[in-house]
Structure formats: structure tokens, C-alpha cells
Amino acid sequence: MTVHKALTVAGSDSGGGAGIQADLKTFQELGVYGMSVLTALTAQNTQGVHGVFPVPPEFIAQQMDAVLSDIGTDAVKTGMLFNSIIIETVAKKLKEYNVRNYVLDPVMVAKGGAPLLVTEAVAAVKEHLLPLATVVTPNLPEAKVLTGMEKIETKEEMKEAAKLLHDWGAQHVVIKGGHGTDDIVTDLLYDGREFVELSAERFHTQHTHGTGCTFAAAIAAGLASGKNVREAVKQAKVFITAAISHPLGIGHGHGPTNHWAYRREGSNDV
């Protein structure tokens, strides 16, 4: 049996809907062996982030060494990296172990508004991580911050942002449309040559905690299993749409998505 492996380098969400918890659930659902390197602990639930406790960079490096020197991985996804020292540490290890399938989710702000990346670290994302990325997956606000564009609302503006991020080193760019308002939510994939639109119905729900984490983790799982980027992104879109469309309804705020919906869709058991 071939075991496909994926590693998430991200923050912990004690509420289980985003961060490493969302990533590991997604890896498992897509049949990939999941591993995790913690960059920060958050005291978090569906109502917001109540505290952040960054992990010392030396210990992040030690976790990456432990996993990559022994088990190895077929793909890496990064999420919350919090500050520039952590970003530089992670970038150094990705290069040292010659990681191939790297999905960069440039997490900046939690759905409730809490910062998950200090403002000064945006430059480090661009300088150290974008050039290593097989795929970068910004949402609309993140794409604005990374590109410095005044607004990204139309398809043409999404295309312009994707081209800039590709020019700065990312091999593929997915600009996610979750923060738009149309009844159809469209993500845009760019490979440096052509644009592919991935559209789905927009669900009018507040249970979207962890959508970005889950989507990027699903892309990493697809790449780890040998899919090409386009196939992996398409599968991830179906995965996240299923997860959003069958909310669990737990907690008092922005609830998590349903990570088992994709596997169980078709049975009546989602």
C-alpha cells in the first residue's frame, strides 16, 4: 500500500474548526496521512480568538527537522505563521528539505477580526514564501494586502492580482472569492498562462470558520496523492463546498464547516 503524506505547518485552533485541526481532519478525509508542526497556539472558539501564544522559532525548526528527516512528506501546507522570524524559519526548512508540493495559505486575519499575522510580516511572506509556493491561496483581503492594489472586486481585478503574485514567484495562484457578495462564489486559478474559474453556489451562512484552511489543506492532500494542481484545486473546491453546505451548527458564533460532508455526500448521513 502506498501511503501518501502531508504536513501542515500552522496554528492550533482549540475550537477545532480552523488551523491544524481543520487541516488534519481534511487530510484524513482525503485519505492522506497527516502530520503537523505547530507555529502558535490560539485560545479560540466560534466567537473569536481569545489569546495567541507563538511557539519559539527554534522549536518550530526542531519539529520540522523531526518530521522531515525521518518520515518525509509528499506535500506541505502552511497557515498561520504569525511573525517574520517564524516565516524565515519555516522558509529555511522548506528549502533545506527541498519540499516540492508547497501550498501557501497567507493567513492574516481570523473571521472574527483578530490578527493572525503581524503587519510587519507581510514583506517576509512576499520575500521568503511566495517564491517557494507551488500554489498560493489568498482570499480577497489578503490579495489586496499582498499586491497593494486599492480594490479587488471584479474578475479583471482578480486576474491582475493573480498575475502579480505569479510574477513574484508563486507557480500557481488561487484568488478565493468567499469574501465577495455574488450569489455564485468564484475562485480564480492562474498557472502563468491561463485562468480557470471555479464557481459554486454561495451559501448564506455564518458557519464559515476555517474555510480557507480546509480549502488549502484539501489542495495539499490532492497534490500529496499525485494529482496535478488543477485537479487538486478542483477537488478542494468540491470538498469545501460540501463542508460549507452541511454546517454542524455548533458554538454560538461563526461555526466550523463539516469536514466529513464530502465523504458522506450521497449517503443521507451528512
Ligand X SMILES: Nc1ncnc2c1ncn2[C@@H]1O[C@H](COP(=O)(O)OP(=O)(O)O)[C@@H](O)[C@H]1O
Ligand Y SMILES: Cc1ncc(COP(=O)(O)O)c(N)n1
Q: Residue 122: which of ligand Y, ligand X, none does it interact with, CB under 5 to 8 A by kind?
A: none
Which residue type occupies 27?
F
Half-sphere exposure of 73 toward its Cβ, with a 13 Å CA cutoff? Answer: 32
Using CB under 6 A as the binding rule, whether residue 18 contacts ligand Y is answered as yes
Q: Which does 99 bind (CB under 5 to 8 A by kind): ligand X, ligand Y, none?
A: none
Q: Which of 176, 246, 254, 259 binds ligand X (CB under 6 A)?
A: 176
117 binds, among ligand Y, ligand X, none (CB under 5 to 8 A by kind): none
Cα dist. 130→158, 162, 185, 203, 234 in Å?
Answer: 17, 12, 25, 31, 22
Nearest Cα neighbor of 79 from 23, 128, 120 is 23
Which residue lies nearer to ligand Y by CB, 4 or 219?
Answer: 219
11: contact with ligand Y by CB under 6 A: yes
CB of 176 to ligand Y, least distance (A): 10
Beta bridge partners of 78: 9, 104
Distance separating alpha carbons of residues 113 and 95, to the nearest angstrom? 32
Indicate which single residue of 15, 16, 212, 256 sits in contact with ligand X (rule: CB under 6 A): 212
d(CA 165, CA 162): 5
Residue 51 to residue 63: CA distance in whole angstroms? 22
44-103 positions binding ligand Y, by CB under 6 A: 44, 79-80
Residues at the contact surface with ligand Y, assessed by CB under 6 A:
10-11, 13, 18-19, 42, 44, 79-80, 107, 110-111, 116, 209-213
Residues at the contact surface with ligand X, assessed by CB under 6 A:
139, 176-179, 185, 187, 200, 202-203, 208, 211-212, 215, 237, 240-241, 244
